[in-house]
Amino acid sequence: MRENDNNVYRRLQETNLIENKWTEFKQHRFVTSEYVRIDQQRFLKPFSPTLNGFINTEGGTLYAGINDNGIVKGIQLSYSQKLHIRMKITDMFNRYSPPVSTDMYSVKFKPVICENPDQEHNQSKNGNQENEQNENQDQESEQSKNQDQEIEQSKNHDQDIAQSKNQDQEIAQSKNHDQDIAQSKNQDQEIEQIKNHDQDIAQSKNQDQEIEQIKNGNQENEQNENQDQEIEQSKNHDQDIAQSKNQDQEIEQSKNHDQDIAQSKNQDQEIEQIKNHDLDIAQSKNQDQEIEQIKDQDIAQSKNQDLEIEQSKNHDLDIAQSKNQDQEIEQIKIERF
């Protein structure tokens, strides 16, 4: 990325620069949109789109602290805020595919000198207030982001429950066949993998919260020492995402299992002809009601991880009942024949 050779800027100085495809001015310090409030997104654009354009074309320079008219305003930043900006830019480029090498860009902070310190004193106070407001906005944006993640996780959890219910219905349809019971066990394993995936997401969220607490620490020296640990945690987070993708592939494979279930429907039709007996139909209805009640209990119990062992016992009871039903159906077949 290109860079200005000036070592010092003066406040309210008019630069000889103009905005073009190699030069961009920003009067804020937001790297990505996650820290921009919704009511500001219409007129306040973060650094990320501009930096993305530079890195994918001929390069360029983004000046933060210069307004659109080319007037130097400056941005008051503490050491920790400067470190935060560097880390956000590095994190953004690391999320590219492939990641952007640090040799392709640089981040530098230039001092801004006030010509009239007395006149700038009040402006400095206003600048401090703006910084406090920006920090509060960062915290609000982070909280909003966490809430959105929790909502998204809740939606995914509801979808998982719906998928689990559909899988239970498929198991109930194919429970009269020994091979379908084996397939049911595989589906239970897939549900367990989904639960493990939720735990990985929760652990990833805890890691993100720990990183945020480290960033908000008051001791600047400790933040510098913990930076390597945060990068290591970010790598572990990427590994968790890779594991999550593998789990998604396994779920996709389970969808292909539906075709096998469709083939088993022909066998179910033959068994259904045996169930046409009036007494068998009455017993089947009672059994369906009991199975539906057990499903409702399983869904309620799935919200509490401490009761997963009890769910496993109920599932074993369902298999035992299924085996008894298989024996009853086999007896009916012998009587029919």
What is the domain partition of the chain in residue ranges? 9-140, 193-264, 275-337
End-to-end CA distance of the chain: 84
Query: Best-predicted range by mean pLDDT among 14-18, 132-136, 297-301, 314-318?
Result: 14-18
Is residue 14 classed as helix, strand or coil in its secondary structure?
A: strand
The Cβ of residue 82 has, within 10 Å, a number of other Cβ atoms equal to 14
CA 257, distance to chain mean position in Å, is: 27
- Cβ-Cβ contacts under 8 Å for 25 (sequence gap 6 or more): 17, 19, 63, 66, 67, 68, 70
Rounded to an integer, what distance in angstroms lies between the CA atom of residue 197 and that of residue 138? 29
Q: Where are the beta strands (DSSP E) in the chain?
A: 9-10, 23-26, 61-64, 112-113
145-183 residue pLDDT tens: 555 555 566 566 566 656 656 666 665 675 666 676 666
31-80 residue pLDDT tens: 998 878 888 878 889 999 999 999 999 999 999 999 999 999 999 999 99
Least confident of 23-27, 125-129, 207-211: 125-129
User: Pairing state of beta strands 23-26 and 61-64?
Assistant: parallel
247-287 residue pLDDT tens: 878 878 877 777 777 777 877 777 778 677 777 777 778 88
Contact 55, 100 (CB under 8 A): yes
Specify the pLDDT at position 181.
61
90-118 residue pLDDT tens: 999 999 999 999 999 999 999 998 876 66
